[in-house]
Amino acid sequence: MKPREIIPDVHYVGAPDFDRRLFDALIPLPDGTSYNSYLVRGRDKTALIDAVEPMKLDVLKAYLAEVPKVDFLISHHTEQDHSGGIPWVLARFPGVQVLSSEPAKSMLVDHLGLDAAAIRSVADGERLDLGGKTLRFIYTPWVHWPETMSTYLEEDKVLFSCDWFGSHIAQTGLFVDSAASIMAEAKRYYAEIMMPFRLIVQKNLDKIKDLEIRLIAPSHGPIHRDPQSIIRAYRDWADDMPHNTVVLPWVSMHGSTALMVERLVGALTARGIKVQPFNMATADIGQLAMTLVDAATLVVAAPTVHVGPHPMVFNAVILANALRPKVRFASIMGSYGWAGKMVDIVKAAMPNLRVELLPPVICKGLPRPADLEAVDKLADAIAAKHKELGLL
């Protein structure tokens, strides 16, 4: 199998994975994914960028079958979907030198059992001349692990970005068909692994702002021919200002909480606020994560199970706390049968969210007119807060 040309002397040697449906045993992959690897050939030396997921190593092996020599293996990120094939590359091309960031060196030893002597750490900003192809290494921590770096190919203005700017899509084409088509997938990916490091994403964006970039070649999903579109989207997602949106994970056992959710959705809509409810009995948590990227307010709505919130909604609270979105306000709605500590339990489960808690609405059994009026008041409170932020 011949490496696929992207531009002269830069080839794709990665693997789509059409069948994978879960990443990290957690993240839904409705459209599969890909593990991208790239071969950059200079007059004198050849570099391989990343080494695919072990399950797809056969694809990399086939692409490299007729490649006589690889001098450098650039390891952007130690997570195994990019580094898993490195031991095979070391065996296939004796003498190949692994280049990584300084923090990655010990991680490659720990995670893959590599011999430290095979790894040379490169400095942030260091250049490597392959002979008419100059690679510049740029430390880009926390997109997605602390050791992650990117590589800029100076002559061709290609940014090999690893996880950031990537998307979980399996396709046979190498390039993004249109910027609009990629944004939902890229946002889903940002939400799931980069949102917790939003402030560092801003710093990484600042770091590349003066680079002239013609192509962004990430380690998952297609290559961007319109780099500024995805960079602008990242700026918006990482920005401190949320959108005029309420995210509403909920579940209902016997219909009481559902009545409150229906009332709140109507009341918020009437006040000009976009609301995205997620019935957690069936929701795609990737969609929930995407909505958390922009939302100004989080309202969780659940019936009481024993004394606490229904576990499916509680999972959404745990996820939001882990992803640390930029939400500014939160509230809680729900009903209970005979007793409950739902509000205390939910509040205690989201210490990472720097939110102002708006008055919860909790009722006993079926909501009565006064309870539904309290839901309207909650909508008023949310609208007032969104106005204060200039969102309404």
Residues that bind ligand FEO (CB under 6 A): 77, 79, 81-82, 144, 163, 219-220
The residue among 111 and 341 lying less far from ligand FEO, judged by its C-beta, is 111
Q: Rounded to whole angstroms, how far apart are CA atoms 33 and 368?
A: 48
Half-sphere exposure of 132 (CA within 13 A, CB side): 7
Nearest-approach distance from CB 220 to ligand FEO, in angstroms: 6
Looking at the Cβ atoms of 161 and 245, the one nearer to ligand FEO is 161
User: Which secondary-structure segment (H or E) carries 359?
Assistant: none
Exposed/middle/buried for 341, CB within 10 Å: 0-12, 13-18, 19+? middle
Beta carbon nearer to ligand FEO, 73 or 302: 73
* Complex with ligand FEO: residue 165 or 250, whichever CB lies closer: 165
138-144: Cβ within 8 A, 24+ apart: 138/207, 138/208, 139/101, 140/164, 140/204, 140/207, 141/103, 141/200, 141/204, 142/194, 142/197, 142/200, 142/201, 142/204, 143/194, 143/197, 143/200, 143/201, 143/204, 144/77, 144/79, 144/193, 144/194, 144/197
Name the 3-class secondary structure at 14. coil
Select 33 or 229, whichever has its Cβ closest to ligand FEO.
33
**3-state secondary structure at position 293:** helix
Contacts of 56 (CB under 8 A, 6+ apart): 15, 17, 35
Instruction: Quote the least distance from Cβ 89 to ligand FEO, whole Å.
Output: 17
Rg (CA), the chain: 24
Cβ proximity to ligand FEO: between 82 and 310 the closer is: 82
Q: Could you tell me the smallest distance in angstroms from the CB atom of residue 79 to ligand FEO?
A: 4
- Closest contact distance (angstroms) between CB of 305 and ligand FEO is 34
Q: Return all residues near 289 (Cβ < 8 A) that are at least 6 apart.
A: 188, 191, 192, 195, 319, 323
Q: Which C-beta is closer to ligand FEO: that of 9 or that of 79?
A: 79
User: Please, what is the minimum distance in Å from the beta carbon of residue 105 to ligand FEO?
Assistant: 17
CB of 20 to ligand FEO, least distance (A): 12
Please say which residue, 219 or 252, places its beta carbon nearer to ligand FEO. Answer: 219
CB of 41 to ligand FEO, least distance (A): 24
- Return the structure tokens found at 280: 């957690």
* Helical segments of 71-213, H only: 80-83, 86-92, 102-112, 179-189, 198-207
Q: Give 78 or 331: the residue with its C-beta nearer to ligand FEO.
A: 78
- Rounded CA gap, 157 and 216, in Å? 9
Q: Cβ 140 to ligand FEO, closest distance in Å?
A: 12
Residue 362 in tokens: 């909790």
In the block, which residue shows the tokens 């010990």?
106
Closest distance to ligand FEO from the beta carbon of 50 (Å): 9
Provide, rounded to whole angstroms, the least separation between the CB of residue 319 and ligand FEO: 18
Q: Pick between residue 204 and residue 244 the one whose CB is nearest to ligand FEO.
A: 204
